[in-house]
Structure 1
Amino acid sequence: MTVRQNILITGASSGLGAEMARQFAAKGRNLALCARRIERVDELAGQLRRDNPGIRVVTRQLDVTDHDAVFAVFRDFRAELGRIDRVIANAGLGKGQPLGTGYFERANKQTLETNVLGLLAQCEAAMEIFLDQRDGHLVVLASVLAERGAPRTLTAYAASKAFAASLAEGIRLHHGRGPVKVTTLKPGYIESEMTARAPKSPLIVSTEKGVREMVAVIEREPATAFVPRWPWAVLARLVRMAPDWLLRKVM
């Protein structure tokens, strides 16, 4: 297994991004952390340095909808650490309202700008670095919701995650067996700021447990993976085959 020493994580101020930072730091990895809420990122970085002496943690403020800033921040991280071995494109937004109800500007547009164009910028910036290094691992956070369209407040979000899955697959297919690896992660329900606003589900797992499986999968560098694998690898197949009336009822 290739050890990716210098790991860049976007959206690292809370939730899955912050917990991934904690777990990779415990493995002795150097981290480049960025998010809009830089005060939270800096607080996390201080904690990681105290708990894991010897690792390097560098931080930057970044809103991924500022596309020029994405390229600048990724390049700065590379210059500071010497190289970037893995980029985890985690930054995302979970706002959403049914289409046609007056929330284009306040919810759906913001979700697509972050999860589609913001993700594209992250992938472009990461691949620019990896192609120059002739090595690297790109991890794209999609969702189990990428498998089908979704009704109500999930419509725009699910569509953005379908884009994420397709984009990552396209990059992976383009590079084949080359030196750049691409992994698409499709998480189910894992506790985070995003899921805190959703109705409680008996399928939800804690942030620590869910991210532990995410990190294990990322280290293996598969093409794609559902996390946690059980029950989502099975449920995803059922979702793809489910009739429309059932999805309207359960989603």
Structure 2
Amino acid sequence: MRRNILITGASAGLGAEMARQFAAKGHNLALTARRDDRLHSLRKELIADHPQLEVVVHKLDVNDHDQVFEVFRKADAELGQLDRIIVNAGLGKGAPLGTGRFDANRQTAMTNFVGALAQAEAAMELFRARNAGHLVFISSVSAVRGLPKTVTTYAATKAGLASLAEGLRLELLGKPIKVSTIFPGYIRSEMNEHVANTPLIVDTAVGVRAIVAAIEAEKPKAYVPSWPWSPLARVFRYAPLPLLKRMI
């Protein structure tokens, strides 16, 4: 059992719900996010529900790369060792390229890819030292193909994240350190709460239950929930662009 888990971006949405569901399964947790007031509230909730568990929280902006290393090392020491690290922190900002919102696209690119790279570096520093661990990247089904308009940059960062994970998984194939990439479909969260009628969207708890199951199974890659996203991902991957444009 991967007893001790660190989750970034844990103050809300998928990260907070992952914390709840992993706590219910008996995991000690290290939770990080920029909004430490929410982290402390979540910690109180988890300790009240599961007093036998150890839950530590740290304020962390993943764009402060030195801080990423500091927090990961500290959490590792606090819990005895981290057995699993979930790279979850991310942004959904974006605008069509060339429309004057380079600032939003840059922020998403820096957080979702460079920030994730810093987390992967810090995690692997710990895991290589003990030749053990499970590194999990939360990507997106949007990583399967390039997407238009407001999600162009977001999709590109998630594709980059998936490629980073696959390169690492190839390097570590057959070795004790495991790497998983999770591709969530449309799951209700704070990031998309302004979207009223997204087709196929599921509630946070339902979607995260599928994420947690895939992580616990240590699947190398998983589209979640499996139905309908596993078959849809294949369609998205190979559909000609004119067809893809009508589908999205």
Task: State which of 9, 21, 25 in structure 1 corresponds to 2:23.
Answer: 25
In structure 1, the residue matched to 2:150 is 153
Residue 64 of structure 1: CA displacement? 0.3
| SS of aligned partner of 2:61 | coil
* 1:99 and 2:100 matched: no
| SS of aligned partner of 1:217 | helix
In structure 1, the residue matched to 2:240 is 243
Which 10-residue stretch deviates more, 140-149 or 191-200? 191-200
* 1:88 and 2:86 matched: yes
Cα distance in structure 2, aligned partners of 1:156 and 1:200: 22
Specify the code of the residue in structure 2 equivalent to 1:173.
Answer: L
What whole-Å deviation, never above 9, does each CA across 1:150-186 have from its counterpart, x for those lacking one?
A: 0010100000000010000011101111110000000
Contact 1:150 1:247 survives alignment (8 Å) = no
TM-score normalised according to structure 1 size: 0.97
In structure 1, the residue matched to 2:226 is 229
In structure 2, the residue matched to 1:49 is 47
Which 10-residue stretch deviates more, 189-198 or 96-105? 189-198
Residue 199 of structure 1: CA displacement? 5.0
Specify the code of the residue in structure 2 equivalent to 1:189.
Answer: Y
Task: State which of 129, 133, 152 in structure 2 corresponds to 1:132.
Answer: 129
In structure 2, the residue matched to 1:119 is 116
Cα distance in structure 2, aligned partners of 1:69 and 1:250: 41
Cα distance in structure 1, aligned partners of 2:18 and 2:130: 24
* 1:144 and 2:141 matched: yes
| SS of aligned partner of 1:138 | strand
In structure 2, the residue matched to 1:74 is 72
Task: State which of 165, 168, 185 in structure 1 corresponds to 2:165.
Answer: 168
What whole-Å deviation, never above 9, does each CA across 1:78-119 have from its counterpart, x for those lacking one?
A: 1111100000000000000000000001x1000000001000
Paired residues, number: 248
In structure 2, the residue matched to 1:197 is 194
The 4+ residue runs of structure 1 with deviation greater than 3 A are none
Cα distance in structure 2, aligned partners of 1:103 and 1:200: 25
Specify the code of the residue in structure 2 equivalent to 1:22.
Answer: R
Could you tell me the percent identity over the aligned residues? 59
| SS of aligned partner of 1:97 | coil
In structure 2, the residue matched to 1:209 is 206
What whole-Å deviation, never above 9, does each CA across 1:101-155 have from its counterpart, x for those lacking one?
A: 00001x1000000001000000000000011121100000111011100001010
Q: CA RMSD, aligned part only?
A: 0.9
What whole-Å deviation, never above 9, does each CA across 1:37-67 have from its counterpart, x for those lacking one?
A: 0100110001000000110000000000000
Cα distance in structure 2, aligned partners of 1:141 and 1:213: 13
